[in-house]
Amino acid sequence: MPIVRMDGHPVEVNQGATILDAARKAGVWIPTLCFHEAVSPLGACRICMVELDRGTWKQMVTACNYPVRRDISVSVSSDAAVGARRGVMQLLLARAPENKQLLAMARRMGVDGTPFPSVSTTQRDCILCGLCTSVCEEIIGRSAISFAGRGAERAVSTPFRQPSEDCIACGACAAVCPVGTIQLRIHQDTGEVEVSPFKTRAKLLVCPQCGARLVSEPVSKETLRRLAGDWEKLRQLARLCPQCRRNAAVAAMCLGRGNKPNK
């Protein structure tokens, strides 16, 4: 197995592991924003840059997607690596100068502000990391959102900036967003969930027994569609909230033993 010398300390990793894998195995913190284990590494935000020593010359690489195929020497704490990451953070702060998550990471990196003017964006605090578009495409299989525009006006958007017909309001994009730009909003009056800022709405499934609101109806339909076989009992349980599902399981066990379930 190849060895990564990280700031002089050897770390043995599997063939094809990344520098970020080696750093985490060694307990070395490298900041990440566009990285998530569920999707392919992008290297888009550049906040994880480290200095790779190639012997006669050195190179800045992104730790999240640089594969380790042989013994290499990497510096996380060199002046060049630290300076590069801090420079990236200053640029990101120009897009989201008041974002709590970004400010917390900046403080840990020793960055207390940005010399760059704030950039006018169409989406508050979006840093264009691409995690939301990746999870929508790779995991959910919908590609309901993508990048649109150029320069300072570049943003993550639905087609033509209209509510997307492909979105099932699963909330995966909101779950992986590192700065909280994407949020799920529940509209009590209409019983809908909205994926903000994309303005896509979907009806929420209601538990037929207790009336609790569950996932969106498109998510439920997609889940049931992927079930192997026509298991009507399982389909009925999938429409219940977790508590009613547990109650149904307990009732079934009691009836199977010839006992009445406790009320």
Domains in the chain (CATH in brackets) are: 3-109 (3.10.20.740), 131-255 (no CATH)
* Cβ burial 213-231 (10 Å sphere, 16+ → b, else e): bbbbbbbbebeeeeeeeee
4 within 8 A of 19, measured Cβ to Cβ: yes
Residues 157, 199: Cα–Cα separation, whole Å = 10
The overall longest dimension of the chain from CA atoms, in Å, is: 79
**3-class SS shares of the chain: helix, strand, coil, % to 5:** 35, 20, 50
pLDDT by residue, tens only, the chain of 263 residues? 999 999 999 999 999 899 999 999 999 999 999 999 999 999 999 999 999 999 899 999 999 999 999 999 999 999 999 999 999 999 999 999 999 999 999 999 999 999 999 886 557 789 999 999 999 999 999 999 999 988 878 899 999 999 999 999 999 999 999 999 999 999 999 999 999 999 999 999 999 999 898 889 999 888 887 776 666 777 788 788 889 988 888 887 777 655 555 55
Q: How many CB atoms lie within 10 A of CB 144?
A: 24
What is the C-alpha to C-alpha distance for residues 46 and 190, in angstroms, rounded to an integer? Answer: 41
Could you say which DSSP state residue 2 is in? -
Question: Hunting for tokens 């298991």 — which residue is that?
Answer: 231
At 62, phi and psi to the nearest 5?
-85, 125
Helix (H, G, I), strand (E, B) or coil at 120: coil
pTM as predicted: 0.84
If one counts every other C-beta atom within 10 angstroms of the C-beta of residue 70, the result is: 8
The CA-based angle 226-227-228, given to 5 degrees, is 110
pLDDT recorded at residue 235: 77
CB 62 within 8 A of CB 77: no
Q: What is the pLDDT of residue 74?
A: 97
Burial class (CB in 10 A: 0-12, 13-18, 19+), 257: exposed
Q: Residue 25 gets which letter from DSSP?
A: H
Which residues are within 8 A (CB) of 63 and not within 5 positions of it... i.e. 6 or more apart?
Answer: 18, 19, 20, 23, 30, 48, 49, 50, 74, 76
